[in-house]
Structure 1
Amino acid sequence: MHYVKIYGCAALMLLSAIAVRAQHRVTLKYLLNKVDQKAPALIADSAAIATRQAQAMEIRGNWLPNLKLNYQTDIGTNNNTAGPYFGFGIIPSNSRGVRAESNTSAVLTNLGIVALDWEIYNFGAYAAQNNVASSDIAVEQNLFQQSKYKLQAYTIGNYLQLMRLQDYLTIQSRNIERNQQIRRSIQSLAKSGIRPGVDTSIAEAELSKARLTYIELDNQLKQTQLQLAAVSGLPYQSIVPDTLAETRLISQTNVPQLMVADTANHPIINYYRSIVQNSRQKEELVKKQYNPKILLEAAAWGRGSSIDGNDHFNDLSSGFGFDRNNYLVGVGVSYNLFDLRRKQLKLRTQKTATDYAIKKLDEQKSLLALGVSQADVELNTAKQRLVEIPNQLRAANAGYRQKLSLYKNGLTDIIELNAALNILYRAETDYAQARFIYTSALFQKAVTVNQVNYILNLFN
């Protein structure tokens, strides 16, 4: 009675541990949500969108006028001579007519200017700049969605790989148990003299090989967990896949036929469409930026000088303060005739870029269509494999049980028993691989046709 209580408590503890572990399994939908929130690549791409938005705000400010405040006080000579020259931007201004003789006396002047220049109209160039900036944002946003789409496919692939490895570990655990069972039988038969001692060594070798395989599979599983942890921010030990979801998905036999390609909102197609649109907006900008410009110019200024109206060089301190005040307002038109040729050349270059973008869009549409066809072929093959492989598994299991019974009764040797065991092991791994290939093909089609959410609702 005491032993019954002990074993009962142990069983309850084991069931509790299994229940807790099942509660902590990570569903694919939950994992994808974490990836959307925590993936470093997506965080970086979202920052790139913010940069484009800031640039668009900056471009919207191009229409603002320039209103400059200037003041200067200068001391020097006022000694002009007649004759024209080009300023080259380095010859200072020196106003007044030419005197009969040279005079190098010092003069103090001061000048204050308020100047306005405003490109008030440029025949659509401002609007074209804003449209390009908006399409730049759209390209960056669609690039973000494409990165999210590819990362989603990467996460799904690794999650399915994790389920496959989990199945392999379960199979390998059963394989170890069978080898241990065989070893116990051999040890019992060897002690009674029915079997030679060498069979024990062979059984030990097979058991060790099974354990080494388990260690290698466990390492592969942890490496896959680490890859998922890097993009999801979850502790890698906590990423335990829900293997029962795979069975639920496989049971949905009509899923492939219900998935309809969503090319209108496909992230890859949208990205290349936005590039085409962006290039066309740049064409419009090229057409507009070389148009004439209508300018508003205005200025008001005051001047003071130590030279009076009778050309007397007075004390320098008399140069402070404004003696004369002026203003000037004007509207002008500016156009460079050679911009016609520049526009033609630049527009030709941009049209070439647009044509390239259109061809890339067509290429992606073809690749998506090919991907759908390949996924359909793979799905059909995987279905046929799933129908056939249970026959292999049943036959292999029956063969192993027969060989084990014959061996225990001394009617066959260890070599044939190990061969039957390996056939059973291969059949179990083939079945797990067939399940993995089917779910991978199903998700590959879902990713290609942009219907991942539809599968996720069935998968979780």
Structure 2
Amino acid sequence: MIILKKLSGVIGLVLLTQVLSAQVQDHTLSVADLVSSVTLKAPSLIADSAAVSIRQSLARETKYNWLPSIKVNYQADLGTNNNVPGAYFGFGIVPSNTGGVRPANDPSNAISNLGVATLDWEIYNFGLFNAQNKAAAADVNVEKQQFKLTKYQLQTSAIEGYLQLFQYQNLVVIQQENITRNQQIRSSIQALAKSGIIAGVDTSIAEAELSKSRLTLLELNNKYTQLQLQLAAISGIDAVKIIADSTISARLISLSLQMPAQENNSAHPLISYYQSRYENSLQKEKVIRKSNLPKLMLEGAVWGRGSSINQDSEFGALNNGWGLSRTNYLVGLGISFNITDIKRQQLRLNTQRSTSSYEQSRLTEQAVNLDTQIKQADAELQTAVARLNEIPHQLSASRAAYRQKFSLYKNGLINIIELNIALNLLYRAEADFAIAKYTLCRAVFQKAITRNQVGLVLNSLK
């Protein structure tokens, strides 16, 4: 109840201070609309979505690894036919020349042709195809989870930029109010100097303070514009239209008490990404183990030959070589097993197991880090609420002190140094209030980010 009462007072103060930026309320952009635009139009996300499509295409290609290899070839050749008995290795470069064992070399030409269709089908490999498909699907999942994590991080960056814009927006208004006070002081000094109540040097001091305030405003406006341009680059929204909603802080204060606790962080994009990497590594282990098992092969071939040389090895007319005069077929089952590859496969498997252990360690590390960030976000939010609850006392005292010092100065009872001290205290208090609102907004979103509740917060702000 005490926290609720404190928050109610803070909300009331925040709502009252929104008049400082009333001139921009008719054309503000909500943080939910900004994040939605970033999700759709960010160049980096468009590129990452293409990477997901590429990985999906590779997975579809892997699904057809089971298809047999069927090749059809035909050739017609012109040449001599001279041969001798004896075996040899062709090394893939020595042409085949059947028959033609003659007493002497014969330079006569002959035409021969060959047509062949072959089948090479790995019909069973103890689950290797299935393991390859699962590994390909795991690759796709890693790419998808990386895309989700990138999107989540980009949304987080957009929210941070929006809140900084909100902060600078408030600081610009505060600085404008500070310039107005400096102008009032300068006008009073000029009147008092003409009447001889104060020294003329005070006019120069007032001018210097006014000029410093204007320079500060220029710097704030520059930072504000730079943030608008950065957000425009990732959202596709015109920079001048990116104006923060000044009521966001009051709405986030009440929302912070309604955020449900989340005990299980396994669905967080960061954890999901590292979990997918670990699972992907485990699938690759299975592929390596399956690739070392025997493979059952179905082999088949149909072929035909024709030649202008007859069965008595006599050269005939070249046109007799066209067409297939002899045909054959061959079908068989075979088992293929590379015995000498066992050691290499074992080394590959050990390497992949080490990779899996590494990915598991990274997953555990990220889970611990995320749990720490959740606790830090909760503590930061409590501190931000307490800070914002204390600011009104500082602000009220600073305003009272400035009014009193300004009245005393106009009556010649204090010098301009004391007045400037009071003026700076008031400006510092107003700036601290703006920073406190930004800090609280950031703490609420940081809590939502660590708990994977950004969507819940954004929907509540629509």
Distance 2:157 2:123 in 1: 52
Tell me if structure 2 keeps the 8 A contact 1:162–1:224: yes
The CA RMSD over aligned residues, in Å, is: 1.6
- In structure 2, the residue matched to 1:68 is 71
Cα 1:48–1:283 shift into 2, 3 Å: same
**Is 1:226 equivalent to 2:233 in the alignment?**
no
Structure 2: which amino acid aligns with 1:168? L
Tell me if structure 2 keeps the 8 A contact 1:246–1:459: no
Within the candidate set 397, 400, 403, 2:399 is matched to 397
Distance 1:122 1:259 in 2: 49
Question: Where in structure 2 are the equivalents of 1:288-327 lying within 5 Å?
Answer: 288-327=290-329
Distance 2:310 2:100 in 1: 14
**Is 1:158 equivalent to 2:172 in the alignment?**
no
Structure 2: which amino acid aligns with 1:55? L
52-61 or 188-197: bigger deviation: 188-197
1:194-223 CA deviation, whole Å, 9 max, x = no partner? 222222211111111111100100000011
DSSP 3-state at the match of 1:62? coil
Question: Where in structure 2 are the equivalents of 1:112-261 lying within 5 Å?
Answer: 112-252=115-255, 254-255=257-258, 258-261=260-263
Distance 1:173 1:112 in 2: 90
- In structure 1, the residue matched to 2:281 is 279
Question: Where in structure 2 are the equivalents of 1:74-85 lying within 5 Å?
Answer: 74-85=77-88
Question: Where in structure 2 are the equivalents of 1:5-24 lying within 5 Å?
Answer: 21-24=24-27
Question: Where in structure 2 are the equivalents of 1:20-59 lying within 5 Å?
Answer: 21-59=24-62
Tell me if structure 2 keeps the 8 A contact 1:249–1:458: no
Cα 1:292–1:134 shift into 2, 3 Å: same
DSSP 3-state at the match of 1:243? coil
Question: Where in structure 2 are the equivalents of 1:432-451 lying within 5 Å?
Answer: 432-451=434-453
Structure 1: which amino acid aligns with 2:436? A
**Is 1:340 equivalent to 2:352 in the alignment?**
no
Within the candidate set 397, 409, 415, 1:407 is matched to 409
Tell me if structure 2 keeps the 8 A contact 1:261–1:451: no
Compute the TM-score of the two structures, normalised by the length of structure 1: 0.93
Residue 253 (structure 1) shift: 5.8
| Runs of 5+ unmatched residues, structure 1 | 1-17
Distance 1:273 1:407 in 2: 68
DSSP 3-state at the match of 2:428? helix
Structure 2: which amino acid aligns with 1:237? V
Distance 2:186 2:215 in 1: 17
DSSP 3-state at the match of 1:273? helix
Distance 1:387 1:136 in 2: 50
Residue 370 (structure 1) shift: 1.1
1:351-398 CA deviation, whole Å, 9 max, x = no partner? 111000000000000100111122122222222212222111111100
The alignment covers a number of residue pairs equal to: 442
DSSP 3-state at the match of 2:63? helix
Residue 20 (structure 1) shift: 8.7
Distance 2:254 2:326 in 1: 94
| Runs of 5+ unmatched residues, structure 2 | 1-20
1:139-172 CA deviation, whole Å, 9 max, x = no partner? 0000001101111111111111111101100110
Within the candidate set 366, 369, 389, 1:367 is matched to 369
**Is 1:431 equivalent to 2:433 in the alignment?**
yes
Distance 1:229 1:23 in 2: 19
Tell me if structure 1 keeps the 8 A contact 2:82–2:102: yes
DSSP 3-state at the match of 1:445? helix
Distance 2:207 2:139 in 1: 66
Instruction: Provide runs of 4+ in structure 1 moved above 4 Å.
Output: 18-21
